[in-house]
Structure 1
């Protein structure tokens, strides 16, 4: 296997890229290790009971109104798909300092940076 040489300036971006690849591998491993469960629909009450923080109905209505939570609407009834809710919950993870710094560095590189960098 060929080794790639990185300059010091390229290192944050390389670490960020490696972190993304490791995250993708973790997702694949988790998918393979967990038994496949058929997706299911929640009504509002079922969703409130399912959420880790046991949110109240008014709280969920606020999230729906603000388009913060994935929702399906049939007439006046709200429905939530378990797989979408699980993904939404996972996306709420806060980024580490290293991830944020690498993204900022990547952004600056794409935008040409400052001070001629």
Structure 2
């Protein structure tokens, strides 16, 4: 780092302040994501998140098609598990399938 002049101090302080502000926002966003990871949902909240009826959710629980937790007679869901479950059903595009075939043929 090269030395700076006395006249450059206000500019450098502004840069430091901007970087600090950016880091604080980044940390806040990361901690929010971590909190959401452990967010526990009841069946009505899961129904709203998945845009499915409560009876459909119960049906999927009975068939063990959806990740859930049971404590006594109550059923709970972790938001991150439901999101992972949704993502697991993603259908690949034709381009992705072709790309997989090309990669496998190179092995």
TM over 0.5: yes
Deviation at 1:71, TM superposition (A): 0.6
Match of 1:41 in 2: 40
Deviation at 1:56, TM superposition (A): 0.7
Whichever of the two has the greater Rg, that structure is: 2
Which structure has more helix as a fraction of its residues? 2
Change (3 A) 1:104 1:74: farther
Change (3 A) 1:101 1:62: farther
- Paired residue for 1:83, among 80, 83, 92? 80
TM-score where L is the length of structure 2: 0.57
Match of 1:113 in 2: none
Structure possessing the higher relative contact order (Cα contacts under 8 Å, 6 or more residues apart): 1
Matched positions, count: 76
Distance 1:101 1:77 in 2: 45
- Pairs within 5 Å for 1:1-117: 35-36=29-30, 37=32, 38=35, 39-51=38-50, 54-103=51-100, 106=104
TM-score where L is the length of structure 1: 0.52
Instruction: Output the aligned Cα RMSD.
Output: 2.6
Structure 1, unpaired ranges of 5+: 1-31, 111-117
